[in-house]
Structure 1
Amino acid sequence: MNKSVLVSIAFAVSIGTVYGQGPVEKVEKITVSPGQVRTILSKTDIDGCMGKEAVVLTVDGKPMLVGKKHYHPGDEFIYLTEGTLTLDVAGKGKVTLNKGELLHIPGRVVHQAINPDPDKPFNVVTFGIFEKGQPDTTLVDK
């Protein structure tokens, strides 16, 4: 299955999960680092894409947060709903998102979330197409 189809599936699953008619059941809440909380909203197998799952989550980060470097086992799409967020992406440098902006990070590319605002937290909705059975986030020491 080509990449544009996978992206379309991820987007459709995310919108349906986050903005669907019924309430969203929070699957798992994880504190990644002090001041950064991830809430996994959905992990869904993708029909026709053996070994792939769509993962939808939110991330809340406190002001002046410098998150841990990490990567994911597949493509991730980050949509900023509140605040400002700078992502330090390997091979790309720092990319700053403002409310309403979206960023795609390819699978296994190391990145780090930074909140440059001293007063306001940030919130993102992320969705990804990940390898099923792999950790959805792998921290990097360097």
Structure 2
Amino acid sequence: MKHAVSNLFAVILLTTGAASAATPTPAGVTRTDLQRHDLSIAGRETVQARIDIAPGAVAPWHRHPGEEVIYIIEGTLEYQLEGQPPVTVTAGQVLFVPAGVAHMARNRTASNGAELATYIVEKGKPLLVPVVVSTSETGTQEKSR
């Protein structure tokens, strides 16, 4: 029995480690899930989270299987949506990210930046999908995944 429990614990560690490795959290970015609920629209759910981005940190390019409504609760953050110039959003302001649009966030300040993110997404799909996009900053042409 003791051996079976040890094996089960090892499987749990490997499984959770694999899930974490699939979508690593970037240094300086902390996500705190606040709530998740099914919606009255079949196959959709809403997820709400607080995302903290430390000074100098970047939440790299990614997309979601639905819309994201962002409310800045602290500091100033810079966002870039694929194909658009960067925009700076400060505490008390909002930003809307359409479904499937690749985007990134960056904290160029010396203070913490935080957002309240509300996602209206397809249930059962990964909430965040990392992508690689073309950017004028790098001067490279890369394909989205």
**Structure 1 runs of 4+ with >4 Å offset:** none
| TM-score, with length taken from structure 1 | 0.74
Q: Percent identity?
A: 34
Which of 51, 60, 73 is matched with 2:52 structurally? Answer: 60
TM-score normalized by the length of structure 2? 0.73
State the alpha-carbon separation in 2 of the partners of residues 125 and 104 from structure 1.
12
Residue 81 of structure 1 aligns to a residue whose secondary structure is: strand
Give ranges in structure 2 of 5+ residues lacking alignment. Answer: 1-22, 134-145
Contact 1:77 1:126 (C-alpha < 8 Å) held by counterparts = yes
Aligned length: 111
Please give the residue correspondences for 1:1-142 in structure 2 after superposition, counting only pairs within 5 Å: 32-47=25-40, 49-117=41-109, 119-142=110-133
Give the CA RMSD over aligned residues: 1.4
2-side partners of 1:120 and 1:89: how far apart?
A: 23
Q: Residues 89-137 of structure 1: CA distance to partner in whole angstroms, max 9, x if unpaired?
A: 11222011011000000011000111010x2011110101100000000
Q: What is the CA–CA distance in structure 1 between the aligned matches of 2:84 and 2:97, rounded to whole Å? A: 10
